[in-house]
Chains A and B, each alone.
Chain A
Amino acid sequence: MSVSVQREDFDPGAELAALTAGRSDVGGVCLFVGLVRDSASDADVTAMTLEHYPGMTERMLEKIEAEACRRWPLQGCRIVHRYGRLEAGERIVLVATASPHRAAAFESSRFLIDWLKTRAPFWKVEHGRDGEDRWVEAKAEDDAVAAQWER
């Protein structure tokens, strides 16, 4: 169970290996990686910069992870989120969960990314091909998806 907030890239393979290292009771790992898309909004996007709230970010990610562990029988849980300038195609975020059964791994990893998108204090500014910077606006559909996990 751990979270990392970092500027540098991460290695999904190494993260996967770390989740299951030294144990043979894991039934499955579900690992999601989010990337920078080159057409995130109307104009073509060449890169984006992620700003965050140091301190609160780590705190919120730890809370989200703890909530996942409370809801599902997880053997491992990992969140890595990058900040700073990221070019189109680069990795932004990784969430991964390990569980004896696939349903818990699938559901909990989806929960992590859905809640993270609406609760972790990150903000994206897109750098367009036209030279303009645009702050990304929160999407109502992300709120709706996250709300499905409320209980």
Chain B
Amino acid sequence: MKLLYFAWLKTQIGKSEEVVQPPASVATVADLLDWLPQQGPAYKVIAERRATIRVAINQDFARPDQAVAPGDEVALFPPVTGG
């Protein structure tokens, strides 16, 4: 699974993308957001700002209960501020 980070998530986690292999128990967006903070101190921000974080799966906005699969591109980012 390819993960992308944007805006302050990118600066806090310290990278813009990475490939991860979560266990099979990580089935949804919410599961992924639970699992990531356990992967090291850099990911603590995901737990701390959980309610603020938005997720896209394969470049479409995703809900917390939406399924994630090994081949997916999953992006984590703050609410958008364009325009």
On A, residues with C-beta under 8 Å from B are: 34, 50-53, 55-56, 59, 81, 92-93, 113, 116-125, 135-138
CB of A123 within 8 A of CB of B59, answer no
Which of B60, B81, B82 lies in contact with A137, CB distance below 8 A? B81
CB of A123 within 8 A of CB of B81, answer yes
CB contacts (< 8 Å) of A53 on chain B: these are 4, 6, 56, 59, 75, 77
- On whether A117 and B83 interact (CB within 8 A), knowing A53-B75, A56-B56, A59-B59, the answer reads yes
CB of A123 within 8 A of CB of B83, answer no
Instruction: Tell me, rounded to whole Å, the shortest Cβ–Cβ distance linking B66 to chain A.
Output: 15
In the docked arrangement, what's the CA distance between A73 and B82, Å? 26
CB of A124 within 8 A of CB of B59, answer no
CB of B83 within 8 A of CB of A136, answer no
Instruction: Tell me, rounded to whole Å, the shortest Cβ–Cβ distance linking A40 to chain B.
Output: 10
CB of A120 within 8 A of CB of B80, answer yes
Between B6, B8, B75, B81, the greatest number of chain A beta carbons within 10 A of the residue's beta carbon is seen for: B81
Between A59, A123, A125, A138, the greatest number of chain B beta carbons within 10 A of the residue's beta carbon is seen for: A123
CB of B78 within 8 A of CB of A138, answer yes
CB of B56 within 8 A of CB of A121, answer yes
CB contacts (< 8 Å) of A113 on chain B: these are 83
Which of A92, A93, A118, A125 lies in contact with B80, CB distance below 8 A? A118
In the docked arrangement, what's the CA distance between A50 and B61, Å? 20
Q: A53-B77, A123-B80, A135-B78 are in contact. List 14 more A-B contacts (CB 8 A).
A: A53-B56, A53-B59, A55-B59, A56-B59, A59-B59, A81-B82, A81-B83, A92-B82, A119-B61, A121-B56, A122-B81, A123-B6, A123-B77, A135-B81
In the docked arrangement, what's the CA distance between A53 and B55, Å? 12
